[in-house]
Amino acid sequence: MSEPLKIVIPMAGWGTRMRPHTWSKPKPLVVVAGRTALEYLVEMFESVPASLKPEFVFIVAPYLGELQIPPFIAEHYPKIKAHYVVQAEMKGQSHAIYLARSYLAGPMLMCFSDTYIETDYSFLDREKCDGVAWVKEIPDPRRFGVAEVNADGWVTHLTEKPQFLDNNLALVGCYFFKNSEDLLSAIEEQMEADIRLKGEYFLVDAINIMLKRHSLMRVQKIETWLDTGTIPATLETNRYLLEQLKAQPSPERLQSYQRAGVTIKAPVFIHETADIEDSTIGPHASVGQNCRISGSCIEDSVIDAESEIMNAALKSCMVGRRVHVHGKGGKEVLALNIGDDSSVTAG
């Protein structure tokens, strides 16, 4: 009997670029466009063929990750089969995957937790190559890794942070391996040779070992690649998702808002339990459940659950849960990045 496809999601980093939100929750549970990033990520794999019997392997960080991710998955996705591995020491991507080796046999699909792409995985049950690397053509790939491809279309090498612009096939952080055992063997060689950068074992180095062993890898090009790894990137992803979802309240809710003196500039997500009056919401605003907003303007921002915004103009903001923001009612626009259980009051 063939092994089920393992969908491996490393998410054990400390999320330092998403502080202060990641002081109280792991990065995948930060909200974007009305839902957590983790929900969008899990549902990104809905096109994986059911014949592959996919199972998830979540590699989580100690404490916040191991405490919050498993119950979240159990509550929101009770039908998926999920395994959990704790990466207690941050030794890099290859190290994280190697910790999950007891679950890995046969085909494997891996995607980093702050990656959001639009792609169709339905071909995986027919894939003949040893590996697939998802890439996006971008003008300047120097901040990313790139895939070098020969005239026959095979990947010959992966390069981290290239110095030149002649190769624009940026690696987006999603890979398929027909046999995960081949990857694990390459990681073992990588660790034995101590091939790492800034103290961490990077996945591209293990893949390069596979390529030297004559594994056949091809690229799969995509058009949409977003991420939730930084505050600016998360706000950009929020804008994109709201646009794609054409998000706006129902006609009945719009009428109710009009009676309460609320102007809605779509696209917006507003949870049905939010209490809003005398305010302008949008465009590109996401307002969570049980929020209370009065006398305010909210644009291009994410406001998480149970927060209160009074007499304030917010733009390009990330506001956590149970936050209180009290402005002075003027036209001064605030750009805030504040985590859970915080308070901001204008002087």
CB contact at 8 A, 269 and 247 = yes
Average pLDDT over residues 157-182: 87
Q: How many CB atoms lie within 10 A of CB 144?
A: 20
| pLDDT value of residue 155 | 94
User: For residue range 66-122, what is the model confidence (pLDDT) as tens digits?
Assistant: 999 999 999 999 999 999 999 998 899 999 999 999 999 999 999 998 888 999 999
Q: N- to C-terminal Cα distance for the chain? A: 68
| pLDDT value of residue 35 | 93
In terms of residues, how long is the chain? 347
Check pLDDT > 80 for residue 162.
no
Which are the contacts of 258, defined by CB distance < 8 A and separation ≥ 6? none
92 sits in the region (left: phi over 0; alpha: psi -120 to 50; else beta) called left
Confidence of residue 306 (pLDDT cuts 50, 70, 90): very high
Confidence of residue 346 (pLDDT cuts 50, 70, 90): confident
Average pLDDT over residues 35-60: 95
Check pLDDT > 80 for residue 165.
no
Check pLDDT > 70 for residue 347.
no
Check pLDDT > 70 for residue 330.
no
Burial of residue 297 (CB within 10 Å: 0-12, 13-18, 19+) is buried
| pLDDT value of residue 160 | 80
CA distances from 221 to 9, 31, 172, 265 (A): 20, 27, 10, 34
Location of structure tokens 């102007």: 263
Q: How many CB atoms lie within 10 A of CB 182?
A: 18
Check pLDDT > 70 for residue 290.
yes
| pLDDT value of residue 115 | 87
User: For residue range 263-284, what is the model confidence (pLDDT) as tens digits?
Assistant: 999 999 999 999 999 999 989 9
| pLDDT value of residue 16 | 86
- Nearest-angstrom CA–CA distance, 62 and 43: 24
| pLDDT value of residue 122 | 95
Question: Positive or negative CA dihedral for 338, 235, 115, 191?
Answer: negative
Which are the contacts of 146, defined by CB distance < 8 A and separation ≥ 6? 135, 158, 159, 162, 167, 168, 169, 170, 171
Beta partners for residue 220, in sequence order: 134
- Nearest-angstrom CA–CA distance, 286 and 300: 8
User: For residue range 233-259, what is the model confidence (pLDDT) as tens digits?
Assistant: 999 999 999 999 887 888 888 888 888
HEC string for the chain: CCCCCEEEEEECCCCHHHCCHHHCCCHHHCEECCEEHHHHHHHCCCCCCHHHCCEEEEEECCCHHHHHHHHHHHHHCCCCCEEEEECCCCCCHHHHHHHCHHHCCCCEEEECCCEEECCCCHHHHHCCCCEEEEEEECCCCCCCEEEEECCCCCEEEEEECCCCCCCCEEEEEEEEECCHHHHHHHHHHHHHCCCCECCECCHHHHHHHHHHCCCCEEEEECCCEEECCCHHHHHHHHHHHHHHHCCCCCHHHHHHHHHCCCEECCCEEECCCCEEECCEECCCEEECCCCEEECCEEECEEECCCCEEECCEEECCEECCCCEEECCCCCCEECCEECCCCEEECC
pTM: 0.91
Give the mean pLDDT of the chain.
Answer: 92
Of 8-22, 48-62, 140-154, 156-170, which gets the smallest average pLDDT?
Answer: 156-170
Q: Any idea what the Cα angle at residue 331 is, between residues 326 and 334, rounded to 5°?
A: 55
| pLDDT value of residue 94 | 94
| pLDDT value of residue 1 | 46
User: For residue range 131-143, what is the model confidence (pLDDT) as tens digits?
Assistant: 999 999 988 877 7
User: For residue range 194-215, what is the model confidence (pLDDT) as tens digits?
Assistant: 998 888 899 999 999 999 999 9
Check pLDDT > 90 for residue 168.
no
| pLDDT value of residue 252 | 87
